[in-house]
Amino acid sequence: MMKTTASLTIAAALFAVATTASAERSGKDVYSTKCFVCHASGAAGAPKFGNKDDWAPRIAKGEDAMMETIHKGKGGMPPKGTCADCSDAELKAAMEYMVNAAK
Ligand code: HEC
């Protein structure tokens, strides 16, 4: 009985570690820890969060063009928006989070 409980506990602990390690940050998480620094206020000429006029011409260029800017940086926009450890999927989610807020 004791043995079963112990292995179940270990299995649960391993599962918890595995889920945390591979968990992808949401677009909102990435935005609110990294991107907001400039995009919340429009600092350095950044298109402002939730501002349709700021985002419309960028949305019109398409998501691929915006992803290229995110990767390489442009003007005041640093490469990967300062999220050096962000995956492509996380950066894209953060972009979509901002794009959806400006539609
Ligand atoms: C240090 C300030 C700063 C941070 C941090 C930042 N940005 Fe930006 N971002 C800018 C500026 C400035 C521009 C406008 C660049 C231009 O068009 O000259 C911009 C433009 C963009 C654009 C439009 C790109 C285009 O092609 O028009 C996207 C999308 C974007 N940022 C996403 C992000 C994401 C996602 C993050 C967080 C991972 C982020 N930014 C973090 C400053 C920042």
Q: Is residue 6 part of a domain?
A: no
Q: Is residue 40 part of a domain?
A: yes
Q: Consecutive 10-residue runs of the chain (103 residues): their mean pLDDT?
A: 64 56 85 97 96 98 98 97 96 98 95
Quote the CA–CA distance of 80 and 68 in Å, as a whole number: 10
Q: Is residue 62 part of a domain?
A: yes
The total domain count for the chain is: 1
Whether 5 and 68 have beta carbons less than 8 Å apart is answered as no
Q: Is residue 30 part of a domain?
A: yes
What are the tokens at 69? 């800017």
H runs (alpha helix) in 41-87: 52-61, 63-72
Q: Is residue 50 part of a domain?
A: yes
Pocket lining for ligand 1, CB < 6 angstroms: 30, 34-35, 37-39, 44-47, 58, 61, 65-66, 69-70, 74-78, 81-83, 91, 94-95
Residue 46 has what DSSP assignment? P
Quote the CA–CA distance of 70 and 96 in Å, as a whole number: 12
Domain span at 51: 24-101
Provide the whole-model pTM: 0.85
